Structures are given as structure tokens and as C-alpha cells.
Amino acid sequence: MATTVHSDRGLSRRGKRFAPWVAGLVLLAGIVAAIVVFVPSKNAAPGATDQTANPPAQAPRPKTVPLLKETTSVAREFLKTAVARNDLDAAWKISGPDIRGGLTHREWMTGNIPVVPYPLKSLAVAKFKVDWSHANEAALEVALVPKGNASIKPQVFFIRLDRVGPAGKKHWVVESWVPRSAPLVPAAPG
């Protein structure tokens, strides 16, 4: 006589009884998760949108224009006045609010200004390279190369200028003067 063997591996009688309930709970959790992810919230801020669907618009890049001679003249004047600490009043007039660092004219005139100095008396060459030039903003790299004095090292600075003022009275001002690397301090004699 043949006997039928039933295989009940893995689940007990109790497990078989609760399996449909567990499967139903897993299905219900999946449905809730899908609703949370795909249905928009009524509590969202007005005008809020999905950032992936509508990436933020980027401002158009300004048009590149040839560097004006006036721009370079202001940069050279800044070197002669603010960087060399010579004629600080003239330096104030061509310095924008960013480089002034919140100083008043009176504070600026003390010479303790947020402009990295360089001893221009020993300067042999100041070379300018245009990084970019737009109608109202320009950035240059300035290579300062001293005469054969070994105690002063060559240094490269970044200078940014903005064209400010009302139409018809626009003029260039220096907004930043930053060394390309930390300035090298000459060794103390002795």
C-alpha cells in the first residue's frame, strides 16, 4: 500500500495560520510607503515644488568683453597707493566697500588697512594677466617681481575690480586683493 508523505518543512501549524496576516501587513506597509513618496503633501509650503523635476534656473553668464585701459589704470593706481601704503586718500577713492572691510575713512588713513602690502620701492616688474573681463567686473592676476634683492620674493596676487555708479558716472573700484599663496616674510637680519 502506498503512503503519501506530506512535507511541512519550515512552517509550523501556527506559522501557516499567521502567514496570510504577515503577508497582508507587508503589503499594507508597501502601499503606505508608496503613498508617502508619490502623493504630494497638502502641508507643503505654497509654491514648493519637487527640486528634481524643476531644477533652479541659473543666472546667465555675463558677456566677456575686452579689458578697458581704465580698468588696468585703476589696478596700477591701487598698487601705487594702497599696496605701497602711499597716498591712502587716493587709495580710499578707488577702493570698494568689500576691500575697505567696514573701515571709516579716518580708520583707513591710519594705514592699518585690510590690503596685503608689498614693498614696491624694490619692484622691477608688475605683469598683469586677465582672468576675466565683463562690462562691470574684471579679475586680473598681478605678478610682482622685485629687483635683485634676495630678501623680497616674487609674489602673485589676484585683484578683482567692479564698475560702479549711476549711468554716465560709472567708474572702476578695487573690491579684492588676495595673494595667490601666503605672502613670504623676509628673514630677520642677524
The verdict on pTM exceeding 0.75 is no
Contact call for residues 85 and 160 (beta carbons, < 8 A): no
Ordered by start, the domain boundaries in the chain are: 69-179
> What does the pLDDT profile of the chain (190 residues) look like in tens digits?
555 555 555 567 766 776 777 777 777 777 767 776 777 666 655 555 555 566 778 888 889 999 999 999 999 999 999 999 999 999 999 999 999 999 999 999 999 999 999 988 888 889 999 999 999 999 999 999 988 866 888 899 999 999 999 999 999 999 999 998 765 667 667 6
Burial-class residue 118 by CB neighbours within 10 Å (0-12, 13-18, 19+).
buried
Sign of CA dihedral 42, 44, 45, 46: negative
Single out the residue of 59, 37, 32 nearest to residue 50, CA to CA.
37
133 three-state secondary structure: strand
The whole-angstrom distance between residue 109's C-alpha and the CA centroid of its chain comes to: 30
CATH architecture of 69-179: Roll (3.10)
